[in-house]
Amino acid sequence: MISLYTADYVVTQNDARDIIRNAAVAVEDGRILSVGHTDLLEILFPECRRVDLGHAVIMPGLINAHTHVSMSLLRGYSDDKALMDWLTQDIFPAEAKLTPELVELGAMFSLAEMIRTGTTAFYDMYMHQRSVFRAADKLGMRAVMGESVTQFFPSLTCKDAEAYFDLVRVQADEWKGHPRIRQAILPHAPYTTNPELLTKCRALADETQSLFGMHLAETESETQTCLQNFGMRPIPYCESLGLLQPDSTFFHVVHADERDMELLNEGRCAVVHNPASNMKLASGVAPIGAMLRYRIPVALGTDGPASNNAQNMVREMYMASLLQKVQNLDSTACPAQLALDMATRGGSDALHEPLIGTLEPGMKADFIALDLTTPNMQPVHNIVSNIVYAATGLENKLTVVDGQELYRDGKFLTCDYEALCAEMKAIHGWEKK
Ligand SMILES: [Zn+2]
């Protein structure tokens, strides 16, 4: 059955960045059949299910290209501390108490927040990751994810590196061929791993046909540690280990010089910018303009809910744009269209999923619809401006992934949200038990 979604605007994000008035999106079997004027599509598809969204804008679903969704359990648990104090005094001791059940509940909450605020796909790394795979499968989201690994064993999930490699091989079989979920091999960062582990992780990505990702060049102290230990900055260090490959995505990349960016370009790697996390943890400001000049694909991510503290990509677009303007003392830096591009087309690059990020025939049917009747969304002089600078995320009234409606008009359609809230209330204080 063909579904025809109609609204006052469709923002396609295609190569020409076409914006269509009085427009419709036709969907069948999880794919977009056609995008165009409502009058025309009504003639082309007379026998269809109609969903009229009224004064709204249909647009590609936002893509959260770096997060740790289960950390919603630690939202507001520790803020306003120096990064290492925050990690060692508060976050790591609490994480030591995590169970697979808690990780799944935390993931469900973040997924609900993303579905509510217009995100359709995400790239996640954490521990007890099998629980997050289950949450994404249940709620119907698209995701790339995997178990994060460091050189410190035993970890919460694995007693040693061999156990980690076995787990990854088993999970690769479990999720092989899934229509929405793909595994990645995810060493945590250069400063929590060693060359041997990183090389083995890269080989494991090839062996299991998984993607590869890592936190990289996040802080100045990471650069200094890498220089001391290996005589190289973090990005040349990764290059020396063969980690800069076209299936690789690096999270943060705040501290990158010209040579670093040349290497990322030569490796055809994607980068994920996390403006809120970088500001909150005072990591610095990523050189987005320079990376784009080097033709490095740049996506946007929220990072985890303990360092953001939301999973709301509408907020992230706003912050990405404003941060570049103030950093460069240039109000033309990172215009609204670029912020939207990073959150859609850039996300497609970072998740290595070419069939998402735009609304065009043949693409996967991942889209959202923002209500334009709220006071902050009127008038519409420039729809992209309203999306990036005026929206809050709560205008979203429809979230569709792979053609399936996950949220519509205030209702979650793939989860019992009230039951989730009751569970969250019931586990209060888990980190102290
Ligand atoms: Zn992170």
Query: Angle CA(431)–CA(132)–CA(424) in degrees, nearest 5?
Result: 40
Distance 274 CA to ligand 1 centre (A): 9
* pLDDT tens digits, one per residue of 85-103: 898 999 999 999 999 999 9
Distance 327 CA to ligand 1 centre (A): 22
Distance 124 CA to ligand 1 centre (A): 9
Distance 189 CA to ligand 1 centre (A): 9
Asked if the model's pLDDT at residue 84 lies above 90, the reply is: no
Distance 93 CA to ligand 1 centre (A): 17
CATH code of the region 62-350? 3.20.20.140
Distance 126 CA to ligand 1 centre (A): 9
Judge whether 3-60+357-402 and 62-350 match in fold.
no
Distance 394 CA to ligand 1 centre (A): 24
Asked if the model's pLDDT at residue 10 lies above 90, the reply is: yes
Distance 73 CA to ligand 1 centre (A): 15
Distance 426 CA to ligand 1 centre (A): 27
Distance 304 CA to ligand 1 centre (A): 6
Distance 302 CA to ligand 1 centre (A): 8
> Collapsing DSSP states into helix, strand and coil, what is residue 331?
coil
* pLDDT tens digits, one per residue of 193-214: 999 999 999 999 999 999 999 9
CA distance linking residue 299 with residue 296, whole number of Å:
10
Residue ranges of the domains in the chain?
3-60+357-402, 62-350
Distance 161 CA to ligand 1 centre (A): 21
What is the side-by-side strand order in the sheet with 119-126?
62-67, 119-126, 142-149, 181-187, 211-216, 248-252, 270-273, 298-300
Distance 164 CA to ligand 1 centre (A): 20
Determine whether domain 3-60+357-402 maps to CATH 2.30.40.10. yes
* pLDDT tens digits, one per residue of 386-411: 999 999 999 999 999 999 999 999 99
pLDDT of residue 117: 98
Distance 287 CA to ligand 1 centre (A): 18
Q: Which residue has the tokens 């998740």?
A: 351
pTM (predicted TM-score): 0.98
CA distance linking residue 339 with residue 319, whole number of Å:
9
Asked if the model's pLDDT at residue 63 lies above 90, the reply is: yes
Mean pLDDT of 125-154: 96
Distance 376 CA to ligand 1 centre (A): 31
Distance 395 CA to ligand 1 centre (A): 27
Q: Which residue has the tokens 């007693």?
A: 159
Distance 5 CA to ligand 1 centre (A): 35
Distance 215 CA to ligand 1 centre (A): 6
Q: Alpha helix (H) ranges present in 98-159? A: 100-116, 129-139
